[in-house]
Amino acid sequence: MILDVLPVRTGNAPENMAHDFLLLQRYPRPAGARFRHYLWRGPAWTFGYSQKIAFVRTQMPADARDLCRRTTGGGVVDHTDDWTYALVVPRGHALYEARATESYRIVHEALTSALVAQGVPAELEKRAATADESEPASPAAGPTAGPAGVCFHRAEIFDVVHRSSREKIAGAAQKRNKNGLLLQGSIWKPSCAATLDWERLHDDFTTALAAALAAEIEHPGWPEFGYDEEQALIDQYSTTEWVEYR
């Protein structure tokens, strides 16, 4: 198998979510896996497909403008200070066939190895959050606690956490359909060492992913999607109907 590592691009929330979905639906090399790290044009928020918009709005600033419902699950993610990536694995690969927790574990093991290589004391969370941890915590409880449905407020099983403080470092959300598995992940930069080399992390992470997928890395450049299809999906993800679907 090939793992295509795509160039870094910058977009707003609807653009980034549309491009991730197109990599799942319309990639010109459908037999290969594909990975991209991407940037945000400004402050942005994304949230899980099944989340209620009324709750989502309580978790972000009242004047937030750049927000988008993801096609994956998961909670509310503030992308102001994170390192964001997407991985697509085609249908038929063992990772596609695996249970969601297993694919989550395999990807986060690769990420953990890249973080540990630069001295970040990272490991996987081995226990599921309890019902009590779903309740809002007091502000003094710190960043590892908070309401359910908000990423980085509490760690779920196989999230990446700090070995001693248990502070959440990275999480992800998934979507499977007939084309493959889309995993969208986020690393909270303040939880990592200030000296961390993010370009090295990119290379170490993709190398570890390739090993986990039994794949060879290639750098094919950005795929040429049809302009009309691409723009139509960006427009759809920008609409009130999509954002306030629930």
Q: Is the pLDDT of residue 187 over 90?
A: yes
Q: What is the Cα–Cα distance from 27 to 37, expressed in whole angstroms?
A: 16
Q: Is the pLDDT of residue 167 over 70?
A: yes
Binned at pLDDT 50, 70 and 90, residue 154 comes out as: confident
Which DSSP string do the residues of 95-128 spell out, in sequence order? HHHS-HHHHHHHHHHHHHHHHHTTT--EEE--SP
Tens of pLDDT, residue by residue over 95-133, are 999 999 999 999 999 999 999 999 999 999 998 755 444
241: three-class secondary structure by DSSP: helix
Give residue limits of the domains in the chain. 2-91+177-243
Q: Are 86 and 24 in contact (CB under 8 A)?
A: no
Q: Which residue type sits at 118?
A: Q
Q: Are 175 and 182 in contact (CB under 8 A)?
A: yes
Tens of pLDDT, residue by residue over 54-74, are 999 999 998 999 999 999 999
In this prediction, residue 246 carries a pLDDT of 86
The CATH homologous superfamily for domain 2-91+177-243 is: Bira Bifunctional Protein; Domain 2 (3.30.930.10)
In this prediction, residue 152 carries a pLDDT of 56
**Mean pLDDT score across all residues of the chain:** 90
